[in-house]
Structure 1
Amino acid sequence: LAFGRVARSIQTHYLNIINFFERRATNAAAESFNAKLKAFRAQFRGVKDKAFFLYRLTMLYA
């Protein structure tokens, strides 16, 4: 059961795995940005002004 799960995971992500070994490319930059965005959203829960939210987002992370 566990080996089958690992095998399915490798099949699903095969191209990304090969890409890493060929080019040493990862999605770390995108993941880092997503983490920053998530932390920012958590900090500003309940903000009602979307324009202000987007303005702050671009000023901090653009």
Structure 2
Amino acid sequence: MEGFKAFNTIANTITLNYRSILNYFINRSTNTLVESFNAKIKAFRRQFRGVKNVKFFLFRLTRMFV
């Protein structure tokens, strides 16, 4: 029964995301640029953990990636 649960989860994921999946094969477009940018932001946040001045943090973030 557990195997069916896993299969249903995969089937639901494909059903919800089939347009994005097909878009890759039709246009060869992915969201790798967005994922890369998100990883850079996460690394930047880890580096400046405990920041008190949020405005300055956002300023540095925009200056770094613009």
Q: TM-score, normalised by structure 1?
A: 0.89
Number of corresponding residues: 62
Root-mean-square deviation (CA, aligned residues, Å) is: 1.0
Runs of 4+ in structure 1 over 4 Å off: none
Which of 35, 53, 58 does residue 54 from structure 1 map onto? 58
Identify unmatched segments of 5+ residues in structure 2.
none
The letter of the residue matching 2:36 is S
Match of 1:34 among 38, 44, 50: 38
* Percent of aligned positions that are identical: 53
The unaligned stretches of length 5 or more in structure 1 are none
Please give the TM-score of this superposition, normalised by the length of structure 2.
Answer: 0.84
Aligned residue in 2 for 1:44 = 48
